[in-house]
Chains A and B, each alone.
Chain A
Amino acid sequence: MLSLSELTVKKEGFSALVMGNHALARAMAEAGTMVITSYPGSPTPEIAEALQAPPEAARAYRFEFAVNEKVALEIAAGAAVNGHPAAVFFKSVGLNVAADSLIQLPLMELAGGLVVILGDDPGANSSQNEQDNRWFARMGYFPVFEPASPAEVYVMYKEAAARARELRAPVLLRLTTHVCHAREKVNFGPLPTAAPDWTPRFDAKAGPYVPITSAVFPLKKRALEKLDRWAAYVEKTPLNAVHNAAAGGRRLGAISAGLPALCLLEAVRTAGAQVDVLKLGLSYPLPAGLITEFLRSHDEVYVLEELDRVMETEVKALAYDRGLACRLHARRDHHELMGETSPERARAALNEVWPEQFPAPVKRAAVLPAARLPQMCPGCGHRSAFHAIKAALPPGAITVGDIGCHSLGFLPPYNMGEILLSMGHSVSTAAGLALGNAARKVVAFVGDSTFFHAGLPGVVNAAARDSDITLVLLDNGTTAMTGHQPRPGNGELGERLSLPEVLKSLGVKFLRECDAYEQGKLAGFMKEAMEHKGFAVVIARHPCMLKFMRDRRHAGAAVKTQHVEVDQGKCARHYTCAADFACPSFIRHPDGSVTVNPELCIGDGSCIQTCPAKAIGRGK
């Protein structure tokens, strides 16, 4: 089996069963993409995993994680204006962070071409919303490629990169969660034989590159003309194709793009339905000629898409403009605008309009067992911090969460961090909650990676205004949620930065720091911080124990884990360990007793201090 470290450096072509994210990494290498950047976020981190697998010396490309999506995008854009083929990838909501610079790119001559890869998340599998980033293409004049499977990711990236370079333009490659994470056999080609040309080719005369006042209009005109060239291209590319199944009689058709199009095809085949499918790989600009012809040759057409009514609106406008008599159908209610499309959902939607072609959905009445909510790992410093802080909070305190593993604190039994907007929002949202509020204490949480990502401006603002809030900086030294990517200053990336020094230099006057396992000390610091009038910061640090244990295992260290044990003679059945501290390692038996699951306990011992009966101790 091919090892991941060969994927982007193996010179000859080969076939392998790979996930979409890995197929993309190979496509980047084959396309001769020279600069690739990212900020980690599901569903895209495995792209980086593949790009980073071979040693740096063996790679023909440079890959960098940046401090946030905007910085990542700007690095890629800088490379592209210098003539170097570039790509950047991040999750759906990462686009919001990058948007300020991203929106400018179609105005620029990007000599190397730039592919912006979006990991959209219909179904909100790992995001705070399921925003439909196809809208952004309309706002910024970007073409959109929408692959439906790993094999299509591979083909479409290469095509997108080649056309981007030819048009000296940016392109959006929109992936969705189950395209990124799907696995199938892909036939790969060879790597380019020529070495990358790193000559810096930035030429101010190729611009202008400064879109100020009157310069904006020629730039906008050029961007619109490029979009016209894309509009011609989408009519003839084989990525947009009709799959015929209709017979005589009433001619039925459906239009779709990306994974929903495959769901539609599967639904048509399973039902043996006589419906032609126009599957779009390049969904914007819409191929007006192709669609007009499809509408002309069918009596009824269903526009099946996922999330918002983007294509539907445009297809209807087109039908109106051309005076077409084809009857158009689309999804009917709000429920259908939410969540992922599946072959079953496609079939249910089509059953509503063509019941003779598609069987009605069968409701499955299954009784589900107890829910299993995500939770922090055994030994997690966040659990210890939340347990201590919860005890220190006065009644009525408002806690503001942020993005990262500690977001899970809002779940029972902690219920900490009860409002969440976006990366790094917590400090400023808390500052707003504290305005004119003398009655309720306001506490914000932020993780160390998010602090650098987008938390810094909020901290600078809160320090300058001396906002009357307490910020708890939960420092685990890594970007844990997305798989332990390095963050600036953690020692893996650049010089090690001291968080207290950074905070002091930003003007933070009240500052305390301890290990998150020191629960008594942390609770004391919290009380002091909340009594302090003005901005107070408490750092609760503890390394991510998932990473710590993994690193220790990989280093081959022969350390015997010393699990904790519950002394059954002392246990007074308070259940603080199992229910309130709530480490997953504790087992509460039907007879009321509590024991420790040695499969889960990592021997960290952060629970020992939580037992009122002092019944928890280290095993022999």
Chain B
Amino acid sequence: MSSFNVYICGVGGQGVGLLAAALAQAADRAGLKVISCDTHGLAQRGGVVSSHVRMGEDALTPLVPEGGADLVLALERLEALRGAAQYLKKGGKVFYYDTAYQPVSVRRAEAAYPSVEDVEKAVKELGGTAAPVRAAVRDPRMQNAALLGRLAAEGAVPGLAAGVMEEILREIAPAASLEENLAIFRAAAKP
């Protein structure tokens, strides 16, 4: 029984669903059996948003089990920590775009916001590794392309080559910002 499970999370409005759709379409294009799912609703308004992508013959249902993610992708630092704490499998990897959106509790000085080191340490304790991704982007909605680019360069999803991911990015990105997105995707390969 095997499947490769990816848990993707971030804050409502960041494009978590789009990132998941791109990854799922790329996996399908690469000939992998894939089932995925978005979870939203109320959360789309600045709350936690997550998507699940499962690859392999044995995944019949769309949600990644808690503690069952081979890969956690996050578009925000605090959410990287939450995603890893809930979903990361021992030996799994976390890639996250390193931007910080403070929740109300932090702005009200009722809770602390984690540093890059906090995330690294917590993920290490879970038996995994965490890598922040940063890029020079004009529009925060392009942070997706940077994360996808790093994923492609690292070969983080078995059976999913960088070329297929770039092909899907070309089909998904809006025409007006396609060249910019591709440049970010390619530049992200170098940490």
A residues with CB within 8 A of B: 1, 17, 19, 42-43, 125-127, 149, 177-178, 181-185, 259, 262-263, 265-266, 269-270, 272, 342-344, 362, 364, 366-377, 405, 408, 411-413, 481, 546, 556, 575, 578-579, 582, 584, 586-588, 597, 599-600
Do A599 and B140 touch (CB < 8 A)? yes
Do B24 and A183 touch (CB < 8 A)? yes
The distance from the CB of A541 to the nearest CB of chain B, in whole angstroms, is: 19
Q: What separation, in Å, do the CA atoms of A539 and B86 have in the docked complex?
A: 43
Do A368 and B82 touch (CB < 8 A)? yes
The distance from the CB of A372 to the nearest CB of chain B, in whole angstroms, is: 4
Query: Using Cβ atoms and an 8 Å threshold, which residues of chain A touch B48?
Result: 372
Q: What separation, in Å, do the CA atoms of A578 and B122 have in the docked complex?
A: 28
Query: Using Cβ atoms and an 8 Å threshold, which residues of chain A touch B34?
Result: 17, 183-185
The distance from the CB of A122 to the nearest CB of chain B, in whole angstroms, is: 12
Query: Using Cβ atoms and an 8 Å threshold, which residues of chain B touch A575?
Result: 107-109
Do B66 and A182 touch (CB < 8 A)? no
Do A125 and B66 touch (CB < 8 A)? no
Option from B67, B99, B103, B126 in Cβ contact (under 8 Å) with A370? B103
Q: What separation, in Å, do the CA atoms of A368 and B80 have in the docked complex?
A: 11
What residue in chain A is nearest B168 (Cβ atoms)? A1
Query: Using Cβ atoms and an 8 Å threshold, which residues of chain A touch B120?
Result: none
Query: Using Cβ atoms and an 8 Å threshold, which residues of chain B touch A181?
Result: 37-40, 62
Q: What separation, in Å, do the CA atoms of A584 and B46 have in the docked complex?
A: 8
Do A375 and B104 touch (CB < 8 A)? yes
The distance from the CB of A443 to the nearest CB of chain B, in whole angstroms, is: 22
Query: Using Cβ atoms and an 8 Å threshold, which residues of chain A touch B114?
Result: 369
What residue in chain B is nearest A183 (Cβ atoms)? B36
Do B65 and A342 touch (CB < 8 A)? yes
Query: Using Cβ atoms and an 8 Å threshold, which residues of chain B touch A586?
Result: 102, 107
The distance from the CB of A452 to the nearest CB of chain B, in whole angstroms, is: 22
What residue in chain B is nearest A3 (Cβ atoms)? B171
Do A597 and B107 touch (CB < 8 A)? no
Q: What separation, in Å, do the CA atoms of A266 and B38 have in the docked complex?
A: 20
The distance from the CB of B58 to the nearest CB of chain A, in whole angstroms, is: 7
Chain B, 121-155, CB within 8 A of any chain A CB: 122, 126, 140
Do A178 and B37 touch (CB < 8 A)? yes
Is residue B11 contacting chain A, with contact meaning CB distance below 8 A?
A: yes
Do B58 and A269 touch (CB < 8 A)? yes
Do B86 and A182 touch (CB < 8 A)? no
Given A184-B34, A377-B46, A413-B108: A372 in contact with B66 (beta carbons within 8 A): no
Do A342 and B42 touch (CB < 8 A)? no
Do A42 and B60 touch (CB < 8 A)? no
Given A178-B37, A372-B48, A372-B78: A269 in contact with B24 (beta carbons within 8 A): no
| Interface 0/1 of B78-89, CB less than 8 Å to A | 110110011000
Do B39 and A370 touch (CB < 8 A)? no
What residue in chain A is nearest B143 (Cβ atoms)? A599
Do A412 and B13 touch (CB < 8 A)? no
Query: Using Cβ atoms and an 8 Å threshold, which residues of chain A touch B102?
Result: 584, 586-588
Do B113 and A376 touch (CB < 8 A)? no
Do B108 and A266 touch (CB < 8 A)? no
Do B79 and A372 touch (CB < 8 A)? yes
Q: What separation, in Å, do the CA atoms of A364 and B64 have in the docked complex?
A: 14
Do A364 and B107 touch (CB < 8 A)? no
Is residue B21 contacting chain A, with contact meaning CB distance below 8 A?
A: yes
Q: What separation, in Å, do the CA atoms of A144 and B65 have in the docked complex?
A: 29
What residue in chain B is nearest A408 (Cβ atoms)? B45
Number of interface residues of B (CB under 8 A): 61
Is residue B112 contacting chain A, with contact meaning CB distance below 8 A?
A: yes
Query: Using Cβ atoms and an 8 Å threshold, which residues of chain B touch A587?
Result: 100, 102, 107
Do B62 and A366 touch (CB < 8 A)? no
Do B37 and A183 touch (CB < 8 A)? yes
Query: Using Cβ atoms and an 8 Å threshold, which residues of chain B touch A597?
Result: 100-101
Query: Using Cβ atoms and an 8 Å threshold, which residues of chain B touch A546?
Result: 13
Do A183 and B67 touch (CB < 8 A)? no
Q: What separation, in Å, do the CA atoms of A1 and B170 have in the docked complex?
A: 10
Q: What separation, in Å, do the CA atoms of A106 and B86 have in the docked complex?
A: 46
What residue in chain B is nearest A577 (Cβ atoms)? B107
16 contacts between A and B (CB under 8 A): A43-B41, A182-B62, A270-B1, A344-B66, A366-B85, A366-B86, A367-B85, A368-B86, A370-B113, A372-B78, A374-B44, A377-B13, A411-B104, A481-B45, A575-B107, A597-B100
Query: Using Cβ atoms and an 8 Å threshold, which residues of chain B touch A126?
Result: 40-42
Option from B42, B85, B107 in Cβ contact (under 8 Å) with A582? B107
Q: What separation, in Å, do the CA atoms of A265 and B105 have in the docked complex?
A: 41
Q: What separation, in Å, do the CA atoms of A582 and B37 have in the docked complex?
A: 31
Query: Using Cβ atoms and an 8 Å threshold, which residues of chain A touch B126?
Result: 366
Do A376 and B60 touch (CB < 8 A)? no
Do A183 and B46 touch (CB < 8 A)? no
Given A372-B11, A408-B45: A266 in contact with B100 (beta carbons within 8 A): no
Do B100 and A183 touch (CB < 8 A)? no
The distance from the CB of A599 to the nearest CB of chain B, in whole angstroms, is: 4
Do B25 and A17 touch (CB < 8 A)? yes
Do B104 and A266 touch (CB < 8 A)? no
The distance from the CB of A292 to the nearest CB of chain B, in whole angstroms, is: 27
Chain B, 22-44, CB within 8 A of any chain A CB: 24-25, 28, 33-44
Is residue B188 contacting chain A, with contact meaning CB distance below 8 A?
A: no
The 8 lowest CB-CB distance pairs between A and B, nearest first, are: A126-B41, A374-B47, A370-B111, A366-B85, A372-B103, A182-B62, A375-B46, A578-B107
Do A343 and B104 touch (CB < 8 A)? no
Query: Using Cβ atoms and an 8 Å threshold, which residues of chain B touch A343?
Result: 60-61, 65
Q: What separation, in Å, do the CA atoms of A342 and B86 have in the docked complex?
A: 15
Q: What separation, in Å, do the CA atoms of A178 and B64 have in the docked complex?
A: 12
Is residue B116 contacting chain A, with contact meaning CB distance below 8 A?
A: no
Q: What separation, in Å, do the CA atoms of A412 and B63 have in the docked complex?
A: 30
Do B41 and A579 touch (CB < 8 A)? no
Do A263 and B86 touch (CB < 8 A)? no
Q: What separation, in Å, do the CA atoms of A140 and B138 have in the docked complex?
A: 56
Given A1-B25, A369-B82, A374-B45: A364 in contact with B105 (beta carbons within 8 A): no
Q: What separation, in Å, do the CA atoms of A263 and B1 have in the docked complex?
A: 14
Do B107 and A266 touch (CB < 8 A)? no
Is residue B18 contacting chain A, with contact meaning CB distance below 8 A?
A: no
Do A584 and B101 touch (CB < 8 A)? yes
Query: Using Cβ atoms and an 8 Å threshold, which residues of chain A touch B108?
Result: 412-413, 575, 578-579, 582
Query: Using Cβ atoms and an 8 Å threshold, which residues of chain B touch A185?
Result: 28, 33-34
Q: What separation, in Å, do the CA atoms of A575 and B44 have in the docked complex?
A: 26
Q: What separation, in Å, do the CA atoms of A181 and B17 have in the docked complex?
A: 10
Q: What separation, in Å, do the CA atoms of A412 and B1 have in the docked complex?
A: 45
Q: What separation, in Å, do the CA atoms of A481 and B78 have in the docked complex?
A: 25
Do B36 and A182 touch (CB < 8 A)? yes
The distance from the CB of A256 to the nearest CB of chain B, in whole angstroms, is: 12
Given A1-B172, A376-B45: A371 in contact with B107 (beta carbons within 8 A): no
Q: What separation, in Å, do the CA atoms of A346 and B28 have in the docked complex?
A: 28
Do A369 and B85 touch (CB < 8 A)? yes
The distance from the CB of B158 to the nearest CB of chain A, in whole angstroms, is: 19
Do B46 and A342 touch (CB < 8 A)? no
Query: Using Cβ atoms and an 8 Å threshold, which residues of chain B touch A266?
Result: 58-61
The distance from the CB of A196 to the nearest CB of chain B, in whole angstroms, is: 32
Do A1 and B1 touch (CB < 8 A)? no
